[in-house]
């Protein structure tokens, strides 16, 4: 590698670290060799560190990185694994393919920060295949940090399979900066005695477009799931939420809970779907779209806040 390339690389590392910090990440985490972490800027792996029980395999591709991340059988990783994805320049395509396996009886928490602070023409694609093995557990938090321009497409797509007794908790949040265009598509197959909890929180502004599709198929006995979605949209933003839960086995329990608040000219649509073909399964749903609760607003106004400040606090609370 030439000197120039190295310089470029280190500046890129600095940029993404700065963006990561701005997004709420702790940069020290990425340099701590006692912690596992992976930093990817555009299609470059800037750093990768795996502790015992974790195997990272990565391959840089034309527009992204193919990652295989395995948590070895029986390993309960004590500290969270930090992932950082992003593109610092104003344009670019980042196409991440992720193959994740939590082997039998393993447990891990992944914390991902996705930062696109200057995006004007950026596409961030993520195709993930996740396997949660027997009695294994994955907690996955993905927090996005976007800039003010809205020129970004975020296209995360994942298929998750939870084997017997496994658990999967995920929390997707895109509340700082403009959403741009989001097309979120997660689908889960849940086997016997597994647990799945999917939470998504998005704040859309200006002409942001939000499409969320979450599908859980409870295939095994006593599989349980919750889909919880909190969307706030304002200005001319639009959102469509589809939460589908299917109960196919005895004792399967699922719940879909979607709450959306709209302001300005925003348009929201919520379609919770419950499908049950086993009489001993039970799936419920609730969906509410409305403006911010009047009593909450008036209470904060009666404590001296302006209406706008009150609404802001209520919306942020809902998305917290």
Partner 1 sequence: MRGVNLELGDREIHSIIGANGAGKSTLAYTLMGLQGYEHEEGSIIFNGEDLAALSITERARKGITLAWQEPARFEGLKVRDYLAIGARGNGGITEEEIKEALRKVDLKPEKYINREVGEALSGGERKRIELASIITMKPKLAILDEPDSGIDVVSLKEIVALIQTLKENGSSVLVITHREEIAAASDKASLMCEGMILRSGDPLEISEFFKNRCIPCDNRVSPPKVK
Of 191, 176, 163, 158, residue with least CA distance to 117: 176
Extract the runs of DSSP E, i.e. beta strands, from 133-166: 137-146, 152-162
Residue of 315, 316, 314, 257 lying closest to 285 (CA atoms): 257
CA distance 38 to 90: 22
Residues that bind partner 1 (rule: CB under 8 A) add up to a total of 21
306 binds partner 1 (CB under 8 A): yes
294 sits near partner 1 (criterion: CB under 8 A): yes
Choice from 3, 28, 33, 303 touching partner 1 (CB under 8 A):
303
Of 107 and 314, CB closest to partner 1: 314
Q: Which of 66, 109, 296, 312 binds partner 1 (CB under 8 A)?
A: 296
Least separation, in Å, of the C-beta of 293 and partner 1?
A: 6
Q: Does 128 bind partner 1 (CB under 8 A)?
A: no
Q: Is 93 in the site for partner 1 (CB under 8 A)?
A: no
List the one residue from 10, 61, 284, 299 that touches partner 1 (CB under 8 A). 299
Choose one: 85-93, 146-154, 202-210, 288-296; the region binding partner 1 (CB under 8 A): 288-296
Residue 317 touches partner 1, criterion: CB under 8 A = yes
DSSP per-residue letters across 165-199: T-EEEEEEEEEES---EEEEEEEEEE-TT-EEEEE
Q: HSE (CB half, 13 Å, CA atoms) of 38?
A: 28
Q: Tell me how far, at minimum, the Cβ of 292 lies from partner 1, in Å.
A: 11
Cβ neighbours around 54 below 10 Å, total: 18
Two tokens at 52?
A: 């015992």
Q: Is 316 in the site for partner 1 (CB under 8 A)?
A: yes
Structure tokens given for 315: 């919306």
Residue 319 binds to partner 1 (criterion: CB under 8 A): yes
List interacting residues with partner 1 (CB under 8 A).
293-296, 298-307, 313-314, 316-320
């Amino acid at each position: 590698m030439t000197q120039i390339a190295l310089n470029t690389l280190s500046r890129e590392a600095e940029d993404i670290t700065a963006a990561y910090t701005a997004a709420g990440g702790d940069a020290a985490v990425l340099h701590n060799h006692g912690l596992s972490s992976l930093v990817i800027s555009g299609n470059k792996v800037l750093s990768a560190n795996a502790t015992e029980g974790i195997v990272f395999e990565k391959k840089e591709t034309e527009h992204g990185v193919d990652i295989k991340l395995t948590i070895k059988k029986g390993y309960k990783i004590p500290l969270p694994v930090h992932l950082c994805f992003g593109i610092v320049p104003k344009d670019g395509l980042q196409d991440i393919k992720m193959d994740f396996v939590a082997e039998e009886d393993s447990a891990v928490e992944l914390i991902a920060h996705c930062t696109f602070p200057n995006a004007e023409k950026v596409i961030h694609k993520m195709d993930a295949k996740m396997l949660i093995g027997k009695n294994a557990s994955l907690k996955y938090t993905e927090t996005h940090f976007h800039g003010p321009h809205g020129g970004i497409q975020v296209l995360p797509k994942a298929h998750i399979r939870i084997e017997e007794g496994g658990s999967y908790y995920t929390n997707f949040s895109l509340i700082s900066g403009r959403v741009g265009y989001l097309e979120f598509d997660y689908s889960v197959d849940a086997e016997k005695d597994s647990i799945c909890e999917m939470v998504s929180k998005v704040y859309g502004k200006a002409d942001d477009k939000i499409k969320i599709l979450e599908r859980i198929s409870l295939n095994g006995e006593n599989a349980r799931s919750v889909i919880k979605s909190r969307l706030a949209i304002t200005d001319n933003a639009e959102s469509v939420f589809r939460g589908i839960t299917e109960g196919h086995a005895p004792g399967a329990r699922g719940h879909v809970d979607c709450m959306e608040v709209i302001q300005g000219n925003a348009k929201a649509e919520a379609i919770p779907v419950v499908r049950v073909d086993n009489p001993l399964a039970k799936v419920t749903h609730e969906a509410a779209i409305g403006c911010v609760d009047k009593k909450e607003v008036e209470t904060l106004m009666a404590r001296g806040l302006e209406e706008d400040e009150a609404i802001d606090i209520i919306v942020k609370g809902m998305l917290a």
